[in-house]
Amino acid sequence: MPGKRGNNEGSIYPHKKNGKKVGYRGAYVVHNAEGVKRRYVSRKTREEVRRKLVKAMSDRDGGRVFVKDLTSVQLRWFYRDRLDHGLAPATVHKLHVVLHKALEAAVADGLIPRNPTADLKLPRITREEIDPLNQEESRRLLEAARGDRLEALYVLALNTGMRQGELLALKWENVDLDRGVLRVRRTITHEDKAYALGEPKTKKSRRTIRLTGGAAAALEVHLSRQLEEMERMGSLYQPGGLVFATTTGTIINPSNLRNRSFKPILKRAKLRPIRFHDLRHTCATLLLSKDINPKVVSEMLGHASVSITLDIYSHLLPDMQEKAAKALEEALS
């Protein structure tokens, strides 16, 4: 009988066939997704088995056995679970890319025979439904926001195409009213049931945007109003340098912004219900409809590439090809 060891250290004993000793065998325990399993290694000598057993248990403790046992079925259920918990299909695709690369490396290192992500069918990514305002509707929204405590936020949203999180994380230190530019350096993140300042969405999201005259003027008025608020609140104000903050200086909750500010403004403007993110789409479509170079629009929005910009908006501007055809006709006639 093999001598047992504690703490799942494994055991070594003679290996017999037909009553004759042919070598030695080592056994150890593995805990994986399917429960507790006993694994074996065999060699001719006890020392060879001991070395093999030590390596096997080292691989186990380093997670290699868990990787080896990973199956396509488990990954399929993992992706399904992520979708059921609210992740978008595009986010699941990003998870898949990371897992695929990691498991490809495991295959290359000889840790697993094949990549279990290779044949997985991923959830379909559907085009985001966008509902931008037209030029006349945009003017109505700005008129309805006139005099509002957060008027400058809506002016910036339509004039810069900044994301909601980027606007709510904007600090005065990144705004240069004299030069008429602002720098996007942060966005808000949701951690431990609270909002905090974090890194922008992508590397290209860190960008400099030139302000329109109207946007700069709105920010100047907003700054004066904010300084008055700070004076009224006194020691209750928490100075964090945010351009758009609550009356006590803290981060504005996006849900509160939507329900207490944005929806009432849409109602006053007699506009249909849209998402705040559609203001970003509105900025982009207005620029493209005025024949602004898509590359410029892409950089202004902080897209990773101009192809993303064209993929999102070109179908909303059916006259773009017509304009292109006329331009070619004029150039070649």
Total structural domains within the chain: 2
3-state secondary structure the chain: CCCCCCCCCCEEEEEEECCEEEEEEEEEEEEECCEEEEEEEEECCHHHHHHHHHHHHHHHHCCHHHHHCCCHHHHHHHHHHHHHCCCCHHHHHHHHHHHHHHHHHHHHCCCCCCCCCCCCCCCCCCCCCCCCCCHHHHHHHHHHHCCCCCHHHHHHHHHHCCCHHHHHCCEHHHEECCCCEEEECCEEEEECCEEEEECCCCHHHCEEEECCHHHHHHHHHHHHHHHHHHHHHHHHCCCCCECCCCCCCCCCCHHHHHHHHHHHHHHHCCCCCCCCHHHHHHHHHHHHHCCCCHHHHHHHHCCCCHHHHHHHHHHHCCHHHHHHHHHHHHHHC
Which residue ranges in the chain fall short of pLDDT 50?
1-9
Looking at 13, 35, 68, the residue that finishes a domain is 68
Tell me, yes or no, whether 158 lies in a domain: yes
pLDDT tens, 132-176?
999 999 999 999 999 999 999 999 999 999 999 999 999 999 999
Same domain flag for 255 and 156: yes
Whichever domain contains 288, its CATH number is: 1.10.443.10
pLDDT tens, 84-132?
776 778 778 888 888 888 888 878 877 778 888 888 888 887 766 789 9
Amino acid at 300: M
Same domain flag for 153 and 301: yes
Tell me, yes or no, whether 14 lies in a domain: no
Range of the domain at 63: 24-68
Tell me, yes or no, whether 192 lies in a domain: yes
Q: Report pLDDT for 2.
A: 46
Q: Report pLDDT for 127.
A: 66
Same domain flag for 193 and 299: yes
Looking at 68, 84, 104, the residue that finishes a domain is 68
